[in-house]
Amino acid sequence: MAAELIVGLDVSSRARAEEIVSLLGDTVSFYKIGYQCFYGADGLALGKALIAAGKKVFFDLKLLDIDNTVEKGAAAIAATGAHFLTVHAYPKTMRAARKGAEGSNLSILGVTVLTSMDDQDVKDAGYARDAAGLVALRAQQARDAGIGGIVASPHEAEMVRTIIGPKMAIVTPGIRPAGSAAGDQKRVMGPAEAIAAGATHLVVARPIIEAPDPAEAARGILSEMQSGGTRFA
């Protein structure tokens, strides 16, 4: 199975999001809609339009609430035909979201530790573990909850794969191709290295959407991904 590139539409205007999609053309078939786009660019309607056009959509909403609310929220996203939805990787939350997505093609992803966080940030948040230890715990809980995959730094991908087995998705933000700035990300890795570590989906936003030629930037990342091979079933 080949790994997939997901482009983050991290913009506040639907017109700009649609322009990026148009510029990328057939180079990219998978898009992430996060907070900025969802709330600032009519992201729900945009996502539905992309799905209708044959694209895959990842709603990165990181749901966390009481079980009933999470379940109903996941069911509402499932009804759009979306491919991925993120929730915080707490056991009750993941189980509720899985229940809401039952009978659909929506795959629930548990967010472990944000790629903008390091060990000190995890400690400051009150966890008695380092980042890798917390990711390992969340990966085990995601596996036990029966969801589709997890979101983790590429630095933890190899370790996570040993915990969750070969079938679950590992979606990795914090991907920076050669020559790209890390920005506010702390645990970053190149595309080939992330694939070699076991990632199944790479999420890239700024290095593509802020490039002078987004399609050329995406093709470069896809080429780097191919050189990483595959390490998952």
Active-site residue set: 62
161 is in an annotated binding site: no
Tell me whether residue 93 is annotated as binding.
Answer: no
- Is residue 120 annotated as involved in ligand binding? no
On whether 62 is known to bind a ligand per the annotation, the reply is yes
Can you tell me the distance from the alpha carbon of 16 to that of 10, in angstroms, rounded to the nearest whole number? 10
Angstrom distance (rounded) from CA 196 to CA 226: 10
Count the Cβ atoms, other than its own, within 10 Å of residue 46. Answer: 20
Annotated ligand binding at 119? The verdict is no
Q: Tell me: is residue 48 an annotated ligand-binding position.
A: no
Burial 78-116 (b: 16+ CB within 10 A, else e): bebbbbbbbbbbbeebbbbbbebbeeeebbbbbbbbbbb
Q: Which amino acid is at 222?
A: L
16 is in an annotated binding site: no
Yes or no: say if 222 and 11 are a contact pair by the CB < 8 Å rule.
Answer: no
Q: Is 140 labelled as part of a ligand binding site?
A: no
Q: Which residues are annotated as a binding site for substrate?
A: 10, 32, 60-69, 115, 176, 185, 206
